[in-house]
């Protein structure tokens, strides 16, 4: 049950990493989502994902 919760939380964090109109907004959103999910390391990963996510 715990694994399912972690997977769901990770999917939400990845979804939030793509939010925003500019690269800075996506990095900030991804960083906050990562911080909530996994602490400082998650913030770094989330911000990185936000930067490389391209908005179509």
User: Where along the chain do its domains lie?
Assistant: 2-52
Confidence (pTM): 0.65
Query: Residues 20-45: pLDDT tens digits?
Result: 788 888 888 888 888 887 888 888 88
1 or 37, greater pLDDT: 37
Q: Give the C-alpha separation, 29 to 23, whole Å.
A: 10
Query: Could you report the per-residue pLDDT of 43-55, keeping only the tens digit for each?
Result: 888 888 888 877 6
d(CA 21, CA 36): 22
Could you tell me which of 51, 55, 1 has the C-alpha nearest to residue 23?
51
pLDDT higher than 80, residue 13: no
Better pLDDT: 5 or 1: 5
Cα–Cα distance between 32 and 39 in angstroms, integer?
9
pLDDT confidence of residue 16: 66
């Amino acid at each position: 049950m715990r694994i399912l919760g972690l997977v769901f939380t990770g999917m939400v964090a990845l979804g939030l990493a793509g939010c925003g109109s500019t690269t800075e907004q996506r990095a900030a959103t991804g960083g906050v989502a990562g911080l909530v999910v996994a602490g400082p390391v998650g913030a770094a990963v989330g911000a990185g994902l936000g930067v490389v996510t391209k908005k179509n």
